[in-house]
Chains A and B, each alone.
Chain A
């Protein structure tokens, strides 16, 4: 017998009929009887198991573990939070990879470094040499723990069965967790080497390996070997040491920056100091930046890069084949074969993955850095020159739960040509059709929408809508607003009255109404905060904001309060973590929709955030403004508390929250969700003239105009004044009705057998929103089905889902239909129709239209005879 090493699962592989081969000194399964193609496709469509117990695993502990790792790895280890993993490289002094590696932080005081099986001895020798200078211990635990990769769209469901329903990890890639799987201790990483958006690598004690393997097979997973592991990683464009890293086919070392993932694996943070390879990598990085700018003048540090390649002619590309560009031999295929995929039908969210398997010859190549995407190459395939191209990518995993093959040359279908009617006329017809459909035939449950009253709509379209009225307070005139245009007297009066009405509504001192959206309101506030922070010295680059505390987008936070949204240009990067200086509100373990106040206090104490932003777009609970205000006051933590009330702006008051009374300093929001207005934004603050932060208020005004708008959309500003009158007159009955209806609706949906999110003890919601879980990844399909039945809802990813295509929830709001007169009885009827459609796929469109037809008249607005007469008169003169 050979002296190849065996993993804990060797007998299971042999028993399953696997073909065993030597790999990195281990006796490993290359494939099972079903074959590589079937294993590849099963991974992409269901879930495969890979024995990865041969991977080298090294525990790094001791007081100087961080210093050691910062020196020996290329990544920034200080950026690695507890329960997170990061991709890294072990570089030599010349910027060439000794190996690539994954670093895990399952424990506060120890790191786990996972390296390639074939390189484990070489890596250990290198690490041992370096570690001598550090008070740090390396322990090779490869033999003590088994590792199983569980990869594919069903992996999450299977793992969640084993965890007894507990979240296996946080949904983001590289999240870690330590938990019990049916009584067996496991460390789980949301990582993998297949390109699957859903996949885990699970570490269990040796004696539990066979149990976990067999249990997952019982749940429907199938074993896959090294063959499929290779085709999957190739399709995902992931490098393999010995192909894309290490030596090229001519025997020359490949620079680390030649691999696209290097950007994420290498950090030049000052906190890393002089790590091994830093100087060489800096040169490679500089060359890489030049390449991205298409400056190919000095590429000696990075003459070639690893790129995806697709063969256009019939044939199969394989590692080592020469690649030609404009007739010259310029590089090689580093990995390649024929890779299967499932054909799809339809487009976008309607895409259906068929079970019709096709194949394509794709792989990776190592070619001159000058070669751009889409360039034509030739590959010498066994003596024949075949055409090939560099595509952007072979696979995309941004639409979970599936990794989706990107087939070169696929184009989206063009919109059908219009009929013989002139497009202008056709537009009118289409617009009318849409208006009638949404206004008369649909039940609109999108919680961020509302239909404004007829008066609001008429005023929004009336004359000011085509005017300009820039104005600014001028100190010389005792802060009197000075207008730059004539003919604006009415507009001036409207704006002043609007501010008055909104001050009353919010119960605060100052309101800015010129911002035309909620997002713009936030941008103006963030810009003002940053400006105010730097007000004492404007002769240098302003310091950005940091730390800022907000709700994470995946936990229901607003897009507009994220670094990818309105915070983008104002948030600092933490030099230690090299990430945006954001800290997120922790949520309760047993209610992921609710902020965990005690944990929040700990984080505030730790991060001392200079800015705290409450509010979110999946909001079914009150935000704990009072508790956090009290805490920061007691602890004397200087900060600014803002509540982005976007969704709940129309619920300010005793039935929901009174933000300023509770301690918020700034409120922003959009005026068209629960509020009655046309689509605009608003900023309110409660600073008095004698307050220090009154200066911040003045800066906010300044960042609204001229900072954000020149023309502040005067038509809808006029409409908003009418909406504010309506709100101040009717809020008491409207707000109560909206929240009561939401609770009735939630209970009715639950009674119909739907899985309503939230706490039953409070009837599921404290707002206008009702969230229903419809099954992982089913949200979009079910929302689409409801739309075909004229029920318009919003599909949403819940806090434990990966993203919008994995959405398993529907988000609904009672605000618009409450305004059209729906009460508990109507919402109960609606709940029954929704349940029938969601659970049974029933056609309910006729009942929906019938239910809607009786409720087309707007409530909670002025409708006395005198008002109606005036409205009709104006509308008539207007000509509408």
Chain B
């Protein structure tokens, strides 16, 4: 399992990468592995509001549906529409296959660094 050091992680298994003022958000390697084959992704529209701690979409594997919980509050400025047709990218490259980008950030959930997140995830 891979936990890149340069990323921050939420307790809901999302990762966050800051690009200037913009937060790029995806799901962790641990999350994609636990989900199994991702077969469907439901994403919001550009311009929608994201609220820290609340769902902005969902991701479905063969077995189950999981909410995608936003680690930040702000305005969604980009959506990775490639995932709508190729949701399996989330399994293949969880840190390359980002979900949304958020700007105008007004709040953030508690974010963990890689080591703390790994400890939390793997102790389950």
Contact = CB atoms under 8 A, between A and B. Distances in A.
A227 interface: yes
A36 B36 contact: yes
B10 interface: no
A231 B58 contact: no
A243 B84 CA distance: 29
Contacts of B62: 36-37, 227, 231, 337-339
A550 B40 CA distance: 54
A316 B60 contact: yes
Given A31-B36, A227-B36, A382-B58, A36 B63 contact: yes
B12 to A, nearest CB: 18
A385 to B, nearest CB: 15
B58 A35 contact: no
A314 interface: yes
Contacts of A37: 37, 39, 62, 88
A409 to B, nearest CB: 18
Interface in A366-382: 382
Given A36-B62, A36-B63, A227-B63, A338 B36 contact: no
Interface string B65-83: 1000000000000000000
A715 B65 CA distance: 72
Contacts of B58: 382
A37 B84 CA distance: 17
Nearest to A30: B63
Contacts, number: 43
B91 interface: yes
Interface string A335-349: 001111000000000
A31 B39 CA distance: 15
A359 B36 contact: no
A154 interface: no
A315 B40 contact: yes
Contacts of B40: 314-316, 338, 359, 361
Interface in A594-626: none
A35 B39 contact: no
A314 B39 CA distance: 11
B84 A316 contact: no
Interface string A348-365: 000000000001010000
A339 B37 CA distance: 11
A318 B37 contact: no
Interface string A26-49: 000011000111100000000000
Interface string A225-241: 00100010000000000
Contact of B37 (A35, A361, A382): A35
A18 to B, nearest CB: 12
Given A314-B84, A382-B65, A35 B60 contact: no
Contacts of A231: 62
A357 to B, nearest CB: 9
Contacts of B36: 19, 31, 35-36, 227
B33 to A, nearest CB: 9
A337 B91 contact: no
B39 A338 contact: yes
Contact of A36 (B37, B42, B60, B65): B37
Given A36-B36, A359-B39, A316 B65 contact: yes
A686 to B, nearest CB: 67
A548 B62 CA distance: 51
A338 B60 contact: yes
B87 to A, nearest CB: 9
A231 B36 CA distance: 14
Contacts of B65: 316, 318, 382
Instruction: Output the residue of B36, B39, B60, B61 with the most chain A CB within 10 A.
Output: B39
Contacts of A340: 39
Interface in B7-38: 36-37
Contact of A337 (B39, B42, B84): B39
Contacts of B63: 30, 36, 227, 337
Nearest to A33: B33
B55 to A, nearest CB: 10
Nearest to A21: B63
Interface in A1-59: 19, 30-31, 35-38
A337 B35 CA distance: 14
A227 B91 CA distance: 17
Contacts of A35: 36-37, 91
A315 B84 CA distance: 10
Which has the most chain A C-beta neighbours within 10 Å: B61, B62, B63?
B62
Interface in B44-62: 58, 60-62
Nearest to B35: A35
B115 to A, nearest CB: 25
Given A227-B63, A382-B65, A316 B91 contact: no
Interface in A301-348: 314-316, 318, 337-340
Contacts of A338: 39-40, 60, 62
B97 to A, nearest CB: 16
Given A36-B62, A227-B62, A382-B65, A316 B39 contact: yes
A361 B40 CA distance: 10
Nearest to A357: B88
Contacts of A227: 36, 62-63
Contacts of A19: 36
A35 B34 CA distance: 11
A606 B67 CA distance: 67
A315 B57 CA distance: 12
B56 to A, nearest CB: 14
Contacts of B37: 35-38
A227 B62 CA distance: 8
Contacts of A315: 40, 42
A37 B91 CA distance: 12
A790 B61 CA distance: 51
Contacts of B84: 314
Interface string A471-482: 000000000000
Q: Give the residue among B40, B58, B91 with the most A Cβ atoms within 10 A.
A: B40
Contacts of A337: 39, 62-63
A314 B60 CA distance: 12
A601 to B, nearest CB: 56
Contacts of B91: 35
A37 B63 CA distance: 11
B11 to A, nearest CB: 22
A316 B37 CA distance: 14
B70 to A, nearest CB: 17
Contacts of A359: 39-40
Nearest to B61: A36
Interface in A778-800: none
Nearest to A36: B62
Contacts of A314: 40, 84
A382 B62 CA distance: 16
Given A227-B63, A337-B62, 8 more contacts: A31-B36, A35-B91, A315-B42, A316-B39, A338-B39, A339-B62, A340-B39, A359-B39
Interface of B: 36-37, 39-40, 42, 58, 60-63, 65, 84, 88, 91
20 contacts: A19-B36, A30-B63, A31-B36, A35-B91, A36-B37, A37-B37, A37-B39, A227-B62, A231-B62, A316-B40, A316-B60, A318-B65, A337-B39, A337-B63, A338-B40, A338-B60, A338-B62, A339-B62, A382-B58, A382-B65
Please give me the 9 A-B residue pairs with the lowest Cβ-Cβ distance, nearest first: A338-B39, A37-B37, A36-B62, A35-B37, A316-B40, A316-B60, A337-B62, A36-B37, A338-B40
